[in-house]
Chain A
Amino acid sequence: MRLLSVSLTVALTVVAAGCSKSPDKIAQEAREAAASWAATLSAAAEWWGGGEVSTSYVQTVVTQAHTSLHQEEQTARTSAGDAAAAPVRAVAAHAAAIADAVKRGDRAAAIEAGHAAASEVPVEKTPAIARPE
């Protein structure tokens, strides 16, 4: 029984140590989330500009982006410092600009803010073709 409890404690410690995130990892995750949302905002704004998605949909995307980026920013700032949160904050600012442009019905401004968001963080594009190890 004692052996079992010792083994369990060791195993849990190893798992916890292996799974705990370093500040670098948190910063990288924050960058990736910012890049993905920037790409989403850019595409949504462009398609809204072309009349391919509705106004309510693009507003939904902006609201969702704002919520996710806010959570991501808080996590990054708390665990990895202000520098790690900076790209997330920048994309969130562009999201707010898109929201304003959508409210005004200004399609050109929304597209511009979308492009600005995408250029803020380098986007890692996944090719459709499989790239196994």
Chain B
Amino acid sequence: MKNIMNVALGIASSIGGFLDVGAIATAALAGAAFGVQMLWVLVLGTLCVMFLTEMVGRLACVSHHSLVDAVRERCGFRYFSFLLIGELFVDLLVLAAEIGGVAVALHLLTGIDYRWFVPIVAFALWLLIWLGTFSIVQNGVSLLGLITLAFVVGMWWMGPPWHEAMKAMVPSAPSHDAAKYWFIAVGIIGALFEPFMLNFYASGAIEEKWSLKDIAMNRVTAVLGMGFGAVIAVSIVMLSALTLGPHGIQVDSYEQAALMMVQPFGSWGIPLFAACLGIACFGASLQVALNLSYLFAQGFGWNWSENLRPHADARFALVYTLAIPVGAMLVIVLGDPLQITTFSMALNALLAPVIVFPLLILMNDRYYVREYRNHIVGNIFVAAIVIIAFLIAIVAIPLEVLGG
């Protein structure tokens, strides 16, 4: 019974944790601009992230290493430094996007400029990590994230075009705006396998002392949790396609994206969208800030655990204490949270190979995973998707940035 409860809690927190500012923004953009045509990107990315999540969980169960810890040990300090710089840059941008998402949600509810909320959100974030334990961060906030199931209800209410959605599972090229299409595709993939999420998942497994007996639970959590999470992201694409696109509304700001909930929910629509965005982003910003601490502490061999009091792992606490204000400042300095989001998600796709390829090496190394090594299908599938996303990102990012 206890195991079933653990699995249910894991799945529920994965669903809540799956959606963040990137998933919401890129799905809304895709639906408004291209209807349901981009669903195939979401499905392919979800399959890939299921494999990746299961792998990092298995690595933790068998070797008791987190991803960063193992990469540092297996690939050496020079490679780790390269990974550290890349992930620090991207994670700070993602943290800015998540804090911006919470601030925008409060702005939608109150009408007050989102910048006023940024320091308040940053302080609340820091306080929760400072005082909280890992289970509060992982389960508490992620469970609140189940409110995002409202997108599924909204889609259902609008009567989705199932037949067309099924057809859209087959990859297709756009009939217009190719640069925008591929940029959004890269953003969707970047939002799905954010590097911070992989190491956070593995670190969580270590925090919760997973062992060989948890391998099956890890597999179920990875597949069902990510699968149900993807259903919510698919719902956002469909809802946006059904409500925004037919009106000619493109998503250039969160104010426009929020309109997708008005048709199905009436006067509850905007508050519900704001609640979904705010809670999902707050949960994700906790994970990103903690992951930065995990990254430094595991890489440099410091004490680390969210379950320790801050004085017991002072350097771990120092990293998130510095990272949160930097993320908050980035939101204020860079402005436009939606643009920060789409750009940081595309950068995630660029960074993915730097973390995924060492993971594939680790997952085929007997020293780390013994007889629990990867199947060749998993290796080829994940490597192919990551390489394709990386190549598209190299082409699409300059085209979108320079060409508007």
Instruction: Please list the residues of chain A having a beta carbon within 8 angstroms of any beta carbon in chain B.
Output: 15-16, 18-21, 25, 29, 32-33, 35-40, 42-44, 47, 51-54, 56-57, 59-61, 64, 68, 123-133
Contact = CB atoms under 8 A, between A and B. Distances in A.
Contacts of A125: 245-248
Nearest to B114: A60
Which 10 pairs between the two chains have the least Cβ-Cβ distance? A56-B111, A123-B248, A132-B172, A126-B245, A19-B402, A130-B37, A39-B248, A36-B250, A128-B241, A19-B403
Interface of B is mostly: helix
B225 interface: no
A53 B402 contact: no
Contacts of B168: 130
B253 interface: yes
A126 B241 contact: yes
A10 B39 CA distance: 37
A44 to B, nearest CB: 7
A62 to B, nearest CB: 9
A40 to B, nearest CB: 5
B12 interface: no
B35 interface: yes
A132 B246 contact: no
Contacts of B245: 125-128
Given A15-B402, A29-B404, A52 B111 contact: no
B208 interface: no
Interface in B251-270: 252-253, 255-256, 258-259, 262, 266-267, 269-270
B85 interface: no
A11 to B, nearest CB: 11
Contacts of A64: 253, 255
A21 B404 contact: yes
A27 to B, nearest CB: 12
Contact of A68 (B32, B253, B270): B253
Nearest to B111: A56
B246 A127 contact: yes
Interface string B283-327: 000000000000000000000000000000000000000000000
B247 A43 contact: yes
Contacts of B246: 125-128
Contacts of B270: 53-54, 57
B370 to A, nearest CB: 44
Contacts of B37: 130-132
Given A40-B249, A51-B267, A61 B241 contact: no
29 contacts: A15-B398, A15-B402, A19-B402, A35-B248, A36-B249, A36-B256, A39-B249, A40-B255, A47-B262, A52-B266, A57-B108, A59-B111, A61-B255, A61-B256, A68-B253, A123-B248, A125-B248, A126-B33, A127-B35, A128-B35, A128-B245, A130-B37, A130-B39, A130-B167, A130-B168, A131-B37, A131-B175, A132-B174, A133-B173
B110 interface: yes
Given A33-B252, A53-B267, 17 more contacts: A16-B402, A36-B249, A40-B255, A51-B267, A53-B262, A57-B108, A57-B270, A61-B255, A125-B248, A126-B245, A127-B245, A128-B242, A129-B161, A129-B164, A130-B37, A130-B164, A133-B172
Interface of B: 32-37, 39, 107-108, 110-111, 161, 164, 167-168, 172-175, 238, 241-242, 245-250, 252-253, 255-256, 258-259, 262, 266-267, 269-270, 398-399, 402-404
Contacts of A54: 267, 270
A60 B107 CA distance: 8
Contacts of A53: 262, 267, 269-270
A130 B38 CA distance: 8
A126 B164 contact: no
Which of B161, B175, B248, B403 has most A Cβ within 10 Å?
B248
B288 to A, nearest CB: 26
A20 B398 CA distance: 11
Contact of B398 (A19, A36, A127): A19
B185 to A, nearest CB: 13
B139 to A, nearest CB: 32
B111 A126 contact: no
Contacts of B250: 32, 36
